[in-house]
Amino acid sequence: MPIFIFFITYILFSLISWPYITKPIFIVLLLTSSIVSYVIYNYGISVDYGMIQNAFETDTGEATSYISFYSVFWVVITGIIPSLMIVIVKISPEISVKKISFHLSICLYHFIYHLFLL
């Protein structure tokens, strides 16, 4: 199962890793995962579809009651600082036939491997 999750994650990140949208997408993922990890760690809840729906239906007063020094500190350490590192790092797009064939061969290998496991 962990190899299958790695395979799916690898494919998804390969699909969204285009030169001009890579950094914004990974920054959004980092900030979102930082907030979700704070909620899971401190409130001991599981985030599912219902929790996401409740978050969007929450009014401003209720949402601000959850903001504390510790929550801001958590998001800064686990979300904002790594996001700034992503902004600073230069990513140069490198497209070659060798690289594309390498990625496709890995995807094909994992697909065939998991096809026979099921």
106 alpha-carbon distance from chain centroid:
21
Secondary structure letter of residue 89 according to DSSP: S
- 43 C-beta neighbours (distance < 10 Å), count: 9
The position carrying tokens 């497209």 is 95
Angle at 10 between CA 52 and CA 29, to 5 degrees: 35
For the stretch 62-93, pLDDT in tens is 888 888 999 999 999 999 999 999 999 887 76
Interatomic CA distance for residues 34 and 32, integer angstroms: 5
Cα atoms in the Cβ-side hemisphere of radius 13 Å centred on 5? 2
Mean pLDDT within 107-111: 76
pTM for the predicted model, two decimal places? 0.69
pLDDT over 60 at 118, yes or no = no
For the stretch 11-63, pLDDT in tens is 777 777 777 788 898 899 999 999 999 989 998 888 888 888 888 888 888 88
pLDDT for the residue 100: 73
Question: What are the extents of the domains in the chain?
Answer: 20-92
For the stretch 95-107, pLDDT in tens is 667 777 777 787 7
